[in-house]
Amino acid sequence: MAGQGPVWRYAVDTREDLLESVRFMAVHAGLVVDDRTSARWLVIGAVMAAQAAAIRVLSEAPMEDGSRRNPLFLIKQCCDEKRLRPPFTLTLSNADLARLKGLIEARNAFIHPPNAGWTLDLAPLPRGVSAVTKVVRHLATVQPTAPARLGEGEQESLDGALDHIDTAMDFWLSQFEGPAL
């Protein structure tokens, strides 16, 4: 129509959201040891990836309004045999759930910083990010439900990115001194 400018829209499906979030994580996982500013983007990408993986496998079940916005709720739903039947059920330790909760809290701090800015202890982040790769690997690679399956090239790309992230987190973790996390 005359007088209207272009319509700017960005549409993304959960498959693309998952793949792009993991690729984004992989880039920042490779940078974070030398550039601590990448920690912010790694954490944001990690939470997005876990959320996208969970939404993909839970997509056929009805969900409460707002539940898609709560990554920890979604991940716990994937751990519930009533919501995601074996062998698709995600199994996480209490330690992994606590790490994921800490990562989500870090993401929230990054997205909604207080007026004075923020300071964040980076030492727990490698284990939190590794918990995310565990979630994504199980939901998208090991036991994907039918709607969550990726194409062969996409699967290889995802697996390679997850391997890169795990290697980077192992190296990053080795750089911290002190008691085990």
Give residue-wise pLDDT tens across range 88-133.
Answer: 899 999 999 999 999 999 999 888 877 777 788 888 899 999 999 9
pLDDT of 179: 46
For the segment 154-168, what is each residue's pLDDT rounded down to a tens digit? 999 999 999 999 999
- Judged by average pLDDT, the poorest of 4-13, 58-67, 74-83 is 58-67
Q: Which residue would you say has higher pLDDT here, 33 or 114?
A: 33
Output 139 or 176, whichever has higher pLDDT: 139
Residue 2: pLDDT over 60: no
Q: What is the pLDDT of residue 145?
A: 76
Cα–Cα distance measured from residue 145 to residue 95, given in angstroms and rounded to the nearest whole number: 25
State the pLDDT at residue 112.
Answer: 83
Residue 181 has pLDDT above 80, yes or no: no
Please, what is the average pLDDT of the chain? 87
Query: CB-based contacts of 161: which residues, under 8 Å, 6+ apart?
Result: 22, 23, 25, 26
Predicted TM-score of the model (pTM): 0.87
**pLDDT over 90, % of the chain:** 56
pLDDT-derived band at 39 (thresholds 50, 70, 90) equals: very high
Which pLDDT value is given to residue 61?
A: 66
pLDDT of residue 63: 65
31-38 mean pLDDT: 92
State how far the Cα of 12 lies from the Cα of 59, in Å rounded to an integer: 15
Q: What pLDDT sits at residue 180?
A: 47
The amino acid at 120: L
